[in-house]
């Protein structure tokens, strides 16, 4: 491995370092007055419910981000879990420039080649039963569309989500979301219920041998919903890996059991793959991963983040039957940036690159490297309670000790600060339902050498932070 920066938080300056760990930012960052920008931000920007990061980011390129202070970090969150192919990917840049100049935005009722091409490529990659697509702007909007369509097509209005879910902050999406953001705004849209979110590390549902009994937990959850429902259950919406909820993958067989529960109640199954699709978790679509779930295809699939590589683009895929039913019932959804050509062209190029370069397999293979390194860290530090995830998507839960499993958010923050100083940006989730979990999701174009150097930085961050409970 390449040498790490020292832990005194001074950025490295070695121009031969190819890992992206803590090296100098471009010279023009010297011209940026970070203190003035922060002062301007404090008086002109609206707060969003959490503090803005203290550093002003002046550049993002490849797998790296650069601060105004001249510090470079590997971006282990891919921006907002979106830059699947890295920042400033040259092919994506070329597509954006070309379409900005020649075919950027149209009247929403008009079609263009990029939109049709993306629909053809995307439905061609999806399993049969996901036959029609529409393209929108954000993950929240795609879930809003999905919930609206489910209600119209079923003639029912009740929606079931998972208790640690995140689906967006628009009215229908946030009503089906239980991670955060519900308090203080008055009633949400009526008819929403929560199932216990799968959590193999913390769930109280256990077999006699102590293993996780998710099947009983799921059945018990539905028994409570059946008692609360007024007989109008329309849909269930779930993520294959609950990222905002702490990087918890659904157990093998969970989707099949969930689909059976939906079928018994004439409900639709909506799967939200904002973060997990297009190879991130080691499969083109994460719902296809487990053999125990073979044959399960959602009635509605929503995509966003990874599809646009940082450009605002989301998608909804449905069956031919559902699309026709919605049309016959007068389905209406009309927004300014629906089926815009520029983002659609980007999405089409993202899919082309992922397939052409074998990046799904690559994400799976590099995911094994990442998870092996994280497991090695767990063997060395007692404050790591659990490692989970799949592919290039991982969660590292920080606890005070493994017996009590009490979240150690302050310790996690200290480790995260040290890690950032060493040249790796990995977000620590601090909401109560996160329980203090590092969410790790580097671009799937990351080099193995970068991963190994990042893991070495994590080792140093844990080693040099008081309270990490070294076991050696």
Rg (CA), the chain: 22
How many CA atoms lie less than 13 Å away from 188 in the CB half-sphere?
Answer: 20
Q: Which of 272, 386, 397, 450 is catalytic?
A: 272
pLDDT for 6 equals 31
Output the CA angle 437-439-443, nearest 5 degrees: 170
Lookup result for tokens 């994460």: 286
pLDDT for 381 equals 98
- Given this structure, which CATH class describes domain 27-75+360-463? alpha beta
Cα dihedral: 193, 199, 203, 209 (round 10): 140
Give the single-character DSSP code of 463.
H
Closest CA to 50 of 431, 438, 456, 358: 431
Closest CA to 313 of 276, 347, 285, 336: 347
**Rounded distance between C-alpha atoms, residue 384 and residue 242, angstroms:** 19
Q: Which of 390, 439, 456, 459 is catalytic?
A: 439
How many CA atoms lie less than 13 Å away from 270 in the CB half-sphere?
Answer: 31
Catalytic-residue membership of 239? yes
**Each residue of 249-260: pLDDT tens digit?**
999 999 999 999
pLDDT for 266 equals 98
Q: Which of 275, 349, 364, 378 is catalytic?
A: 275
**Rounded distance between C-alpha atoms, residue 317 and residue 275, angstroms:** 16
**Rounded distance between C-alpha atoms, residue 62 and residue 48, angstroms:** 27
Lookup result for tokens 């994400």: 363
Instruction: Answer whether 142's CB lies under 8 Å from 136's CB.
Output: yes
Instruction: Answer whether 423's CB lies under 8 Å from 20's CB.
Output: yes
Extents of the domains making up the chain: 27-75+360-463, 91-356
**Rounded distance between C-alpha atoms, residue 418 and residue 384, angstroms:** 16
**Rounded distance between C-alpha atoms, residue 244 and residue 436, angstroms:** 11
Instruction: Answer whether 366's CB lies under 8 Å from 442's CB.
Output: no
* Terminal C-alpha separation, the chain: 21
Closest CA to 441 of 348, 356, 349, 374: 374
Phi and psi angles of residue 12, each rounded to the nearest 5 degrees, phi first: -70, 160
Closest CA to 150 of 318, 307, 387: 318
Catalytic-residue membership of 293? no
Classify the C-alpha dihedral 288-212-429-462 as positive or negative. negative
What is the topology classification, in CATH, of domain 91-356? 3.40.640
Q: Which residues are 158's β-sheet partners?
A: 233
Instruction: Answer whether 307's CB lies under 8 Å from 273's CB.
Output: no
Helix, strand and coil percent figures for the chain, each rounded to 5: 40, 15, 45
Output the CA angle 34-455-280, nearest 5 degrees: 85
Using a 10 angstrom Cβ sphere, with 0-12 exposed, 13-18 middle and 19 or more buried, the burial of residue 147 is: buried
Catalytic-residue membership of 275? yes
- Strand positions, DSSP E, 201-295: 233-238, 241-242, 248-249, 268-272
Give the single-character DSSP code of 399.
B
Please count the other Cβ atoms lying within 10 Å of the Cβ belonging to residue 357: 14
Instruction: Answer whether 445's CB lies under 8 Å from 400's CB.
Output: no
**Stretches in the chain below the pLDDT threshold 50:** 1-20, 22-25
Output the CA angle 180-185-191, nearest 5 degrees: 75
**Rounded distance between C-alpha atoms, residue 57 and residue 11, angstroms:** 15
Closest CA to 439 of 396, 472, 408, 399: 396
Instruction: Answer whether 139's CB lies under 8 Å from 314's CB.
Output: yes
**Rounded distance between C-alpha atoms, residue 15 and residue 24, angstroms:** 8
**Rounded distance between C-alpha atoms, residue 250 and residue 258, angstroms:** 11
Catalytic-residue membership of 305? yes
Q: Which of 166, 349, 418, 425 is catalytic?
A: 166
Q: Which of 75, 141, 158, 239 is catalytic?
A: 239
Q: Which two tokens stand for residue 438?
A: 């590092």
């Amino acid at each position: 491995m390449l040498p790490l920066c020292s832990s005194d938080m001074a950025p490295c300056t070695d121009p031969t370092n190819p890992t992206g760990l803590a090296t100098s930012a471009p010279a023009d960052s010297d011209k940026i007055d970070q203190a003035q920008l922060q002062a301007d931000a404090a008086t002109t920007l609206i707060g969003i419910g959490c503090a803005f990061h203290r550093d002003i980011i002046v550049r993002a390129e490849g797998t790296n981000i650069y601060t105004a202070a001249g510090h470079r970090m590997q971006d282990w969150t891919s921006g907002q879990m979106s830059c699947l192919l890295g920042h400033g990917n040259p092919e994506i840049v070329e597509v954006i420039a070309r379409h900005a100049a020649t075919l950027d935005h149209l009247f929403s009722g008009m079609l263009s080649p990029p939109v049709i091409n993306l629909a053809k490529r995307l439905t061609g990659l999806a399993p049969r039963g996901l036959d029609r697509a529409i393209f929108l702007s954000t993950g929240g909007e795609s879930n809003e569309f999905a919930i609206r369509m489910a209600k119209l097509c079923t003639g029912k209005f009740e929606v079931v989500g998972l208790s640690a879910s995140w689906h967006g902050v628009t009215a229908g999406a946030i009503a089906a979301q239980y991670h955060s953001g519900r308090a203080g705004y008055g009633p949400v849209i009526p008819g929403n219920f929560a199932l216990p979110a799968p959590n193999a590390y913390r769930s109280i549902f256990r077999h006699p041998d102590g293993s996780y009994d998710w099947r009983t937990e799921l059945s018990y959850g539905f028994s409570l919903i059946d008692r609360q429902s007024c007989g109008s259950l329309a849909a269930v919406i779930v993520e294959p890996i609950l990222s905002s909820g702490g990087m918890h993958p659904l157990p093998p067989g969970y989707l099949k059991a969930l689909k059976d529960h939906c079928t018994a109640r004439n409900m639709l199954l909506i799967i939200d793959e904002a973060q997990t699709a297009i190879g991130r978790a080691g499969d083109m679509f994460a719902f296809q991963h487990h053999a125990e779930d073979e044959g399960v295809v959602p009635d509605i699939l929503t995509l966003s983040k990874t599809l646009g590589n940082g450009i605002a683009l989301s998608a909804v895929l449905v069956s031919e039957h559902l699309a026709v039913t919605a049309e016959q019932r007068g389905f209406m959804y009309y927004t300014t940036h629906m089926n815009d050509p520029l983002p659609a062209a980007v999405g089409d190029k993202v899919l082309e690159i992922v397939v052409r370069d074998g990046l799904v397999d690559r994400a799976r293979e590099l995911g094994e490297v990442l998870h092996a390194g994280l497991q090695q860290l767990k063997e060395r530090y007692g404050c790591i309670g659990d490692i989970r995830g799949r592919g290039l998507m991982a969660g590292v839960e920080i606890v005070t000790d493994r017996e009590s499993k009490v979240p150690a958010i302050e310790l996690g923050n200290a480790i995260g600060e040290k890690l950032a100083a060493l040249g790796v940006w990995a977000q620590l989730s601090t909401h109560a339902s996160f329980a203090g979990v590092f969410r790790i999701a580097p671009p799937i174009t990351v080099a193995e050498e970068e991963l190994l150097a990042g893991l070495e930085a994590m080792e140093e961050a844990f080693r040099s932070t008081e309270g990490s409970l070294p076991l050696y």
